[in-house]
Amino acid sequence: MRFAILVNEGPYQHEAADSAYHFAAAALAQGHEVSRVFFYMDGVHNANRLQEPQQDDRNIVRRWSELAEAHGTDLVVCVAAALRRGVKDEILGAGFRISGLGQLVEVGIQADRLVTFGD
Protein backbone atom coordinates (compact mmCIF):
# COMPACT_ATOMS: atom_id res chain seq x y z
CA MET A 1 0.00 0.00 0.00
CA ARG A 2 1.20 3.51 -0.77
CA PHE A 3 0.76 5.95 2.12
CA ALA A 4 1.05 9.72 2.32
CA ILE A 5 1.22 11.41 5.71
CA LEU A 6 0.09 14.88 6.80
CA VAL A 7 1.61 16.23 10.04
CA ASN A 8 -0.15 19.29 11.52
CA GLU A 9 1.48 19.54 14.97
CA GLY A 10 4.90 20.54 16.22
CA PRO A 11 7.44 18.03 17.51
CA TYR A 12 7.44 18.54 21.27
CA GLN A 13 4.08 19.98 22.34
CA HIS A 14 1.82 17.25 20.96
CA GLU A 15 2.09 13.50 20.37
CA ALA A 16 0.99 13.78 16.72
CA ALA A 17 4.54 14.16 15.37
CA ASP A 18 5.76 11.09 17.26
CA SER A 19 2.70 9.11 16.19
CA ALA A 20 3.24 10.10 12.55
CA TYR A 21 6.89 9.04 12.67
CA HIS A 22 6.10 5.70 14.32
CA PHE A 23 3.29 5.05 11.84
CA ALA A 24 5.63 5.76 8.91
CA ALA A 25 8.41 3.57 10.33
CA ALA A 26 5.99 0.71 11.01
CA ALA A 27 4.43 0.95 7.54
CA LEU A 28 7.86 0.87 5.90
CA ALA A 29 8.93 -2.07 8.07
CA GLN A 30 5.85 -3.97 6.85
CA GLY A 31 6.85 -3.38 3.22
CA HIS A 32 4.49 -0.51 2.47
CA GLU A 33 5.56 2.71 0.78
CA VAL A 34 5.46 6.15 2.39
CA SER A 35 5.86 8.36 -0.64
CA ARG A 36 5.59 11.77 1.02
CA VAL A 37 5.23 13.36 4.43
CA PHE A 38 3.73 16.84 4.26
CA PHE A 39 4.29 19.17 7.21
CA TYR A 40 1.59 21.82 7.61
CA MET A 41 0.56 24.40 10.24
CA ASP A 42 2.73 23.94 13.37
CA GLY A 43 3.97 20.69 11.85
CA VAL A 44 6.56 22.73 9.94
CA HIS A 45 8.59 22.91 13.17
CA ASN A 46 9.43 19.22 12.68
CA ALA A 47 11.85 20.33 9.96
CA ASN A 48 13.81 22.89 12.01
CA ARG A 49 17.36 21.55 12.42
CA LEU A 50 18.17 24.30 14.96
CA GLN A 51 16.26 22.43 17.67
CA GLU A 52 18.53 20.97 20.32
CA PRO A 53 16.69 18.42 22.44
CA GLN A 54 18.39 17.07 25.55
CA GLN A 55 20.70 14.12 24.96
CA ASP A 56 18.27 11.70 26.60
CA ASP A 57 15.32 12.94 24.52
CA ARG A 58 14.37 11.96 20.97
CA ASN A 59 15.57 14.12 18.09
CA ILE A 60 12.54 14.31 15.81
CA VAL A 61 14.27 16.19 12.99
CA ARG A 62 17.04 13.59 12.85
CA ARG A 63 14.49 10.74 12.92
CA TRP A 64 12.64 12.13 9.90
CA SER A 65 15.91 12.83 8.07
CA GLU A 66 17.16 9.28 8.63
CA LEU A 67 13.82 7.82 7.53
CA ALA A 68 13.87 9.88 4.34
CA GLU A 69 17.45 8.88 3.54
CA ALA A 70 16.85 5.19 4.18
CA HIS A 71 13.57 4.91 2.29
CA GLY A 72 13.51 7.77 -0.22
CA THR A 73 10.53 9.40 1.46
CA ASP A 74 9.85 12.94 0.30
CA LEU A 75 9.65 15.37 3.26
CA VAL A 76 7.76 18.50 2.19
CA VAL A 77 7.23 21.60 4.33
CA CYS A 78 4.38 23.94 3.40
CA VAL A 79 5.88 27.25 2.27
CA ALA A 80 3.10 29.50 3.59
CA ALA A 81 2.95 27.82 7.00
CA ALA A 82 6.76 27.79 7.22
CA LEU A 83 7.23 31.46 6.42
CA ARG A 84 4.55 32.45 8.96
CA ARG A 85 6.55 30.59 11.60
CA GLY A 86 10.04 31.72 10.57
CA VAL A 87 11.05 28.37 9.08
CA LYS A 88 13.19 28.96 5.98
CA ASP A 89 15.34 26.83 3.69
CA GLU A 90 18.55 27.58 5.57
CA ILE A 91 17.29 25.99 8.81
CA LEU A 92 15.74 22.85 7.34
CA GLY A 93 17.03 19.46 8.41
CA ALA A 94 18.54 17.05 5.90
CA GLY A 95 16.00 15.66 3.47
CA PHE A 96 13.37 18.36 3.99
CA ARG A 97 12.29 20.77 1.28
CA ILE A 98 9.86 23.69 1.11
CA SER A 99 7.03 23.63 -1.41
CA GLY A 100 3.36 24.52 -1.81
CA LEU A 101 0.05 22.88 -1.00
CA GLY A 102 -0.04 21.47 -4.51
CA GLN A 103 2.38 18.79 -3.25
CA LEU A 104 -0.23 17.69 -0.71
CA VAL A 105 -2.98 17.60 -3.32
CA GLU A 106 -0.76 15.64 -5.70
CA VAL A 107 0.21 12.98 -3.17
CA GLY A 108 -3.37 12.76 -1.94
CA ILE A 109 -4.39 11.76 -5.45
CA GLN A 110 -1.48 9.36 -5.99
CA ALA A 111 -1.48 7.56 -2.61
CA ASP A 112 -3.81 4.78 -1.59
CA ARG A 113 -4.28 6.46 1.80
CA LEU A 114 -3.58 9.92 3.21
CA VAL A 115 -3.18 9.64 6.97
CA THR A 116 -3.43 12.85 9.05
CA PHE A 117 -1.82 13.42 12.44
CA GLY A 118 -2.92 16.41 14.51
CA ASP A 119 -5.76 18.88 14.22
The CATH number of residue 52's host domain is 3.40.1260.10
Give the span between the Cα atoms of 108 and 1, in whole angstroms.
Answer: 13
- Domain of 25 in residue numbering reads as 2-117
Model confidence band, residue 106 (pLDDT cutoffs 50, 70, 90): very high
Task: Show which residues are catalytic.
Answer: 78
Domain count, the chain: 1
Torsion of the alpha carbons at 117, 106, 65 and 79, rounded to the nearest 10: -80
Beta strands in 1-119 (DSSP E): 2-7, 33-39, 74-78, 96-99, 113-117
Q: What is the pLDDT of residue 94?
A: 96
Average pLDDT, the chain: 95
Q: What is the pLDDT of residue 10?
A: 93
Average pLDDT (35-39) is: 98
1 half-sphere exposure, CB direction, 13 A CA radius: 12
42 half-sphere exposure, CB direction, 13 A CA radius: 12
% residues pLDDT > 70 (the chain): 100
Angle between helices 60-71 and 16-29 (to 10 degrees): 20
Task: Report the Cα 109 to chain-centroid distance in Å.
Answer: 18
Q: What is the pLDDT of residue 59?
A: 87
pLDDT digits (tens, 9 = 90+) for 55-101: 877 889 999 999 999 999 999 999 999 999 999 999 999 999 999 99
**pTM score, whole prediction:** 0.95
